[in-house]
Amino acid sequence: MIASQLLAYFFTELKDDQIKKIDKYLYSMRFSDETLLDITKRFRMELVDGLGRDTNATAALKMLPTFVRSIPDGSEKGDFIALDLGGSNFRILRVKVSHEKKQTVEMESQIYDTPEDIIHGTGTELFDHVAECLGDFMEKHSIKDKKLPVGFTFSFPCQQTKLDEGYLVTWTKRFKASGVEGVDVVKLLNKAIKKRGDYEADIMAVVNDTVGTMMTCGFDDHRCEVGIIIGTGTNACYMEELRHIDLVEGDEGRMCVNTEWGAFGDDGRLEDIRTEFDRELDRGSLNPGRQLFEKMVSGMYMGELVRLILVKMAREGMLFEGRITPELLTKGKIETKHVSAIEKSKEGLTRTKEILTRLGVEPSSEDCTAVQHVCAIVSFRSANLVASTLAGILMRLRENKGVSRLRTTVGIDGSLYKMHPHYARRLHKTVRRLVPDCDVRFLLSESGSGKGAAMVTAVAYRLAEQSRQIAEILSEFRLTTEQLLEVKKRMRTEIQNGLSKTTHDSAAVKMLPTFVRRTPDGTEYGDFLALDLGGTNFRVLMVKIRSGKRKSVEMHNKIYAIPLEVMQGTGEELFDHIVHCISDFLDYMGMKSARLPLGFTFSFPCRQTDLDAGILVTWTKGFKATDCEGEDVVGLLREAIKRREEFDLDVVALVNDTVGTMMTCAYEEPTCEVGLIAGTGSNACYMEEMRNIEMLEDNEGQMCVNMEWGAFGDNGCLDDFRTEYDRLVDDLSLNPGKQRYEKMCSGMYLGEIVRNILIDMTKKGFLFRGQISETLKTQGIFETKFLSQIESDRLALLQVRSILQHLGLNSTCDDSIIVKEVCEAVSQRAAQLCGAGMAAVVDKIRENRGLDHLNITVGVDGTLYKLHPHFSLIMHQTVKELAPQCDVNFLLSEDGSGKGAALITAVGCRLRQELNNK
């Protein structure tokens, strides 16, 4: 017993000693995590070079764009053909993707032989052969009469500029068909099919086998965004942000990039980690100096690397008692399948002995242990190197997404990964060690790259169909110049109807006189109080205007909230609340004893009967206070001040915010005679000739007219421009049938239009995987500020996704692109409609004055105009295009509703003084 234990101990010691010797001998093949992370760093630098326009030509990693822009989202369906050409066997599949209860895939496939003479013949012969096999397959499946979409897995390096073309860069894997390199393989195949004339095929996509692997796995796991092949060769692809791919136009969304990582190190970046065995293997290969990374890790070379190591060790007397046989010296005698067999846990040593015996070396048990350990070092190095490059891709994905922890899936295929007993486990372990902040699922591709080609085609088919339907939905928002000229013409008609006595009562655009007869002339002077009521906040301002050489406007203000119950309560409650706020402000300023002149900015439609008197026509913007419509709002304010019995004020002017905007700008720029609000609401005013305002008797001079253009279209004159989404927003609003133009172009409603389009698109399965969240069903959730943020040129899609996630919408990259497109269409139409209205106004002023050419300034205010990244520019362009005889300058107003109210009051006081002096 003791003797046997001693013997066992002796052999264990011997075995350990042998292993230590080999570890020392092959020390340069064993990497610390520090070295692996350094390789990761080098790989990431190569990756960036490959993506850059200026560095791609000299980069070892070619980072080829594949034009695959999306992974399967689960909504694909249809009948597809997949061709898989990449070796001596050529496979054709018919893939049916259906949606009964859940997405299912049925596949029928057939393998056709690709004879040696065709592989080495002409390109015409090769593609005639492919077309013949496809014809045979379609005949057998009785589908020759159908023009099915075809996906073509072509497992050779290709340069692509779109999904359905691929220019062969170079043949690999023993293929040498002439006349194909540098030519589009899709064209060659289409030509061969056309020549036959007995069937048609719609080749929608040409894909690399690595991409096929990612797409196959992406069908089962929507998180899959990396594909890897570790077999005879090795390669990887992943979904890169389009903004980083300099070789492709555009920066919206993502695209799958074929890294062609087998060439990593071809520029000398890996020289310090290549061993003498790697160099010897490379020298004896068909392509010396190329695919150096692949030669260190892939199945095609692993057995040969082991053979070269064993030969050297035998020569140095470390193995086989120094015996070297002709078999051991013969290239290719040790294959990767032998390495896999040798490394098996249980029968590994037995298999080692069998394999070595066939090589004629008569191995001892120590030799078998040593050879097994050599194989382990070589295959472990391969797994470690692949882990280091994959870590580089995972780090990049994590940074691209801006997340602290990445959760993703890697689709993987290849004989080495699948057949080697320990490879997969070693790879997974090292990856998790190198990127601890990534949760990676490795998913084995079960059905190869053929199904992947069908999936790429299915996705392309889905995206093309989806794109067509989205374009159809949004086409109603894309207005032509002819349509915009028609809107301008109708606005002119409505302006005329509002000004004419006979049609005023029935007119939609009311053209209300404001009794503001002059713009400021610079002599205004004094202290004025201004009130500003136009939304959920109410402001009280003290405005000190000084004239002379150093004219100035100094303002103090305080903001007060108006609770919803007050907005929608009684009129008395609303005006008592307003007076309570004024009282607080006067206390704050210490000016309760002075009887100050006051301008009241009241941003709701009013029919003014004088500068200080106006009847509220209708509430807008969510206000519903009772007993106000049809009443003089200045009277209601004066009564509330009386009820308070604390102070007295001289209410000089009732001011609309649009008029206030015009007056503020006119104080700075005398040519300003138009005011525009493009914010929560939308309205315009301008200086009209008194002779044209038929509602008033006076024919002398000018008066500012408050157009109340938000109601343009309330008589149905814009019905042919309104979409189903406009109708939906109108029906669900607080004032159905009213303010229709405003509902198409103002900030209060744009987000709601977008939300309704998104719901419709989600129902149709274009967005959010067809799942309508509770958030999306919530009215008003999609605020217009989100449109401004989403459309910002500086904002990457990643940030668009985070905005959508903040709204509870779990979006993909593709969703973000569509949402952005919807926002752009809705806000562009809003800006164009606003521009068409403004073109009508400036042309009217030009014609009033009998001018061939008009120079005029428009004072503008409103959050939509100020904060939206493109609204102002689109509106300016529209005005320029539709009113070419007018040079229109747009001047941004500073506080039209506060400063403007004070200026109108000051002008009113000045005119009153002038009248009294006569």
Sheet holding 103-113, edge to edge: 103-113, 89-99, 78-85, 149-154, 202-207
* Nearby residues of 270 by Cβ (< 8 Å), 6 or more positions away: 39, 42, 264, 292, 293, 296
* Nearby residues of 112 by Cβ (< 8 Å), 6 or more positions away: 89, 90, 91, 92, 133, 136
676-704: burial string, b at 16+ Cβ within 10 Å, e else = bbbbbbbbbbbbbbeebbebeeeeeebbb
Q: Which helix (H) or strand (E) holds 518?
A: none
Between CA 523 and CA 896 the distance in angstroms is: 19
Between CA 352 and CA 110 the distance in angstroms is: 37
CB 451 within 8 A of CB 219: yes
603 is catalytic: yes
CA-to-CA dists, residue 419 to 388, 444, 447, 831, angstroms: 21, 12, 15, 62
SS3 letters across 752-797: HHHHHHHHHHHHCCCCHHHCCCHHHHCCCCCCHHHHHHHCCCCCCH
**Other CB atoms within 10 Å distance of the CB of residue 796:** 16
DSSP class per residue in 466-512: HHHHHHHHHHTT---HHHHHHHHHHHHHHHHHHHSTTTTTT-SS--E
What are the backbone dihedrals phi and psi of residue 731, each rounded to the nearest 5 degrees, phi first? Answer: -60, -35
* Nearby residues of 778 by Cβ (< 8 Å), 6 or more positions away: none
Dihedral angle sign, alpha carbons of residues 890, 894, 895, 901: negative
Choice among 657, 726, 730, 861 that is catalytic: 657
Tokens of 615: 């009847």
**Other CB atoms within 10 Å distance of the CB of residue 446:** 10
Tokens of 204: 């929608």
CA-to-CA dists, residue 845 to 608, 678, 691, 885, angstroms: 22, 20, 13, 11
Indicate the pairing of strand 597-602 with strand 526-533: parallel
Choice among 69, 517, 539, 801 that is catalytic: 539
Q: Give the SS3 label for residue 602.
A: strand
Burial bucket for residue 658 (CB in 10 Å: 0-12, 13-18, 19+): buried
Choice among 603, 682, 893, 897 that is catalytic: 603
The set of long-range contacts for 909-913, using a CB threshold of 8 Å and a minimum separation of 24, is: 909/526, 909/597, 909/652, 910/523, 910/524, 911/517, 911/518, 912/652
CB 868 within 8 A of CB 785: no
Question: For the packed helices 571-589 and 633-644, what is the interaxial angle rounded to 10 degrees?
Answer: 60
DSSP class per residue in 699-711: -SSEEEEE--GGG
Beta bridge partners, 626, equal: 570
638 is catalytic: no
315 is catalytic: no
DSSP class per residue in 205-218: EEE-HHHHHHHHHH
The greatest distance separating any two alpha carbons of the chain, rounded to the nearest whole angstrom, comes to 136
What are the backbone dihedrals phi and psi of residue 143, each rounded to the nearest 5 degrees, phi first? Answer: -125, 20
Instruction: Indicate left, alpha or beta for 181 from its phi (over 0: left) and psi (-120 to 50: alpha).
Output: beta
Active site residues: 539, 603, 657
